[in-house]
Amino acid sequence: MTVHSAVSGLSSLVEPERMLVGSSWIPSRSGKTFPAVDPGTGEVVAQIPEADADDVDAAVRAARQAFEEERWTGLSGQQRAVVLWRVSDLLEANAEELSRLESLDVGMPVSQARAMLGEAVNLFRYYAGWADKIHGRNVEIGPGERRFQGITLKEPVGVAGLIVSWNAPLIGVSMKLAPALAAGCACVVKPSEQASLTVLAMGRVLLEAGVPEGVVNVVTGHARVGAALAAHDDVDKVSFTGSTAVGKKIVQAAAGNLKKLSLELGGKSPVIVLPDADLDQVIPGVAMGIFWNTGQICTSGTRLFVHRDVFEEVVQGVAEYGRSLKVGYGTEPGVDLGPLVSQRQLDRVTGYVESGLRDGARLISGGSRIGEKGYFFEPTVLADVDQSMRVVREEIFGPVLGAMPFTDVAEAVAAANDTEYGLAGSIWTRDIASAHTIARKLRTGRIGINVHRAGGVQMPVGGYKQSGWGRENGLEGLEEYLETKSVITLLDR
């Protein structure tokens, strides 16, 4: 890969104060920038272009031109697959630099960033395998004396606007770009203003891999950039990951040209522990289901329902596990948890814990900021919470677990479903028949049995209710970027 000058040693993959439009790295048209802040120190590490609607329009025009000129769709599926596989190879070749950049941008430990990078590699390889296997079907239709041959074609939806969340940008952008490119779309990517660095670096990787000019564009900035992309009449599809509140605004903005949408939104995932469960599995599994990436994962298991017979043992065990985790700067050896992403997020998490305690929750562990530098917060367990509390009903996006006892499984399932969200969940028991019965009753898009955080690129993810529309990963993720066309021919009989 071509080596470029770094910003104060930041990364050779990031262009100083530039974003990608066409094949050019350019500043925003206004020349404005905003700071990228290291969550572990609170210090500014780079300046990011502050785009506006004119920048979005330029990026969409570049994507539209690339699509109409068939720079990407004009290639065969096999040719696109070769390029996507090359992307995965370049990600792997730059794994250490990208992992450190992700750690710097988001705060997560480098070890977790490496795992995220590995999943990004898997995503591009998986969808490279689909690129030459996109096809429709054929069928004969009509009465015996007047027969028709019907075929369906699968075609790329067109220009896709991809709005990426800040909590895991490498995976987030790969979950959208890999299937969109396999389908043949041209793309405009908008990373979160809180974590733009690795998405910008991904733009350079794509160019190096041979993705043609204009097929992928990256515009950076705050919410108005995403709003302009969602409302743009020349964007055919938007894929958004973020909060439910913003997702609803995306729906309204998309109404102008009725663009297609896929939305992965908020979560308040239930974890149900039956009395026969293996607690040696339950305690670490539940703990990492909520504390991993400092709780900043949409599918985190934030609501814990435990049978009363084992309630105190599980709750105390999870609290003790949380206390054993090493919280620190992402590059420190042996660190398990990094900081929250920003001062705003730190204030948000602190406010929810204080609200829970005011409402009568029992603090088992954590509950406070760690130190004065950076945005670190203790792994926190609250017991004696109930369904009326904000800390139970609203998405916190931090390392805060609310635990509730139950005696009747049907009541636990009803309580688990008593939420506006439906993204994920898990069930812990030795009785697999009971687990599958409960899984069918939970209104969520993903269920783990004796595991909470599991899956992979082959398994679709997405939500019920206000956790979103559509799916990412698997064949379902590819279908989100395809249109189906019917072609019917009268047969000569």
Single-letter amino acid, residue 46: A
SS3 97: helix
Beta carbons of 438 and 452 less than 8 angstroms apart: no
**Could you report how far apart the first and last alpha carbons of the chain are, in Å?**
59
**Pick from 450, 473, 443, 480: nearest CA to 120:** 473
Please report, for the chain, how many H helices and E strands are present, in that order: 15, 22
Q: Which residue, among 387, 432, 407, has the nearest Cα to 306 in the 3D structure?
A: 407
Residue pair 412/435 in contact (Cβ under 8 Å)? The answer is no
479 is catalytic: no
Check: CB of residue 128 under 8 Å from CB of residue 84.
yes
What's CA 159's distance to the chain center, in Å?
20
Residue type, 426: S
Q: What's at 409, amino acid-wise?
A: V
The H or E element containing residue 318 is helix 311-324
CA angle 389–264–409, rounded 5-degree value? 45
Place of tokens 């939104």: 265
Q: Which of 17, 102, 193, 264 is catalytic?
A: 264
> Which of 127, 121, 118 lies closest to 80 in space, CA to CA?
127
User: Which residues make beta-bridge pairs with 156?
Assistant: 482
Instruction: Give the residue numbers marked as catalytic.
Output: 264
